[in-house]
Amino acid sequence: MSLNVSRLLLAAALALVVSGCNREPGGSASQSDSQAPTAAPAAETAAAPAPSSPPPIPPSTELQIDKVQSVMVSRPADAPSSVLIRASGSVVSAGWTDAKLAPVEAPNADARIRVFSFVATSPEMPGETRTPQEVETELRVDDVPSDVRTIRVVSATNAISAPIVQ
């Protein structure tokens, strides 16, 4: 009897293999399978957009820096309700000036987090080459409420948060 069961299982397995191999568009595959090969070439022939160069930077414009790299927050010894924020980052080319932290006011923001945008002024005569340049700034904020626990510095591509040590 076990020989009959083995033959039956072997026949079932062969039937599954044979039916699984018939995936030709003209075969007995479902209609959605036969349409898939015709749709794929149409998608392949669509022209992909060519990579473009970044847009030009307007001269003498205050913009967010490209990337913030570090943020340090400390309390000055002479003013325990103040914080000193030091931030460094990079801009896309040389010649950027007046790096600073600008407060960001958001009506529904978390009261425990103060957000600052790291901005700088673009060069008057933008260069053709875009070689990253490091920038740094420092900001003293007086009378920081005691419920503020975190300082977040935001750039064009990222943000870094730092805790306020009490």
pLDDT of 121-165, one tens digit each?
Answer: 999 876 667 789 999 999 999 999 989 999 999 999 999 999 998
- Taking residues 54-83, what's their average pLDDT? 91
Structure-token pair, residue 130: 């875009």
Burial class (CB in 10 A: 0-12, 13-18, 19+), 65: buried
How far apart, in whole angstroms, are the C-alpha atoms of residue 24 and residue 21?
8
The DSSP string of 9-77 is HHHHHHHHHHHHH---TTTT--HHHHHHHHHHHHHHHSPPPPP-PPPPPPTT-EEE-SEEEEEEEE--T
How far apart, in whole angstroms, are the C-alpha atoms of residue 138 and residue 101?
8
pTM across the whole model: 0.66
How far apart, in whole angstroms, are the C-alpha atoms of residue 67 and residue 138?
16
Question: Which phi and psi angles does 9 have, rounded to 5°?
Answer: -65, -40
Q: What is the per-residue pLDDT for 56?
A: 76
Band (pLDDT 50/70/90 cuts) for residue 28 is very low
Q: Which helix (H) or strand (E) holds 119?
A: strand 113-121
Band (pLDDT 50/70/90 cuts) for residue 114 is very high
Domain ranges of the chain: 2-45, 62-163
Q: What is the per-residue pLDDT for 32?
A: 46
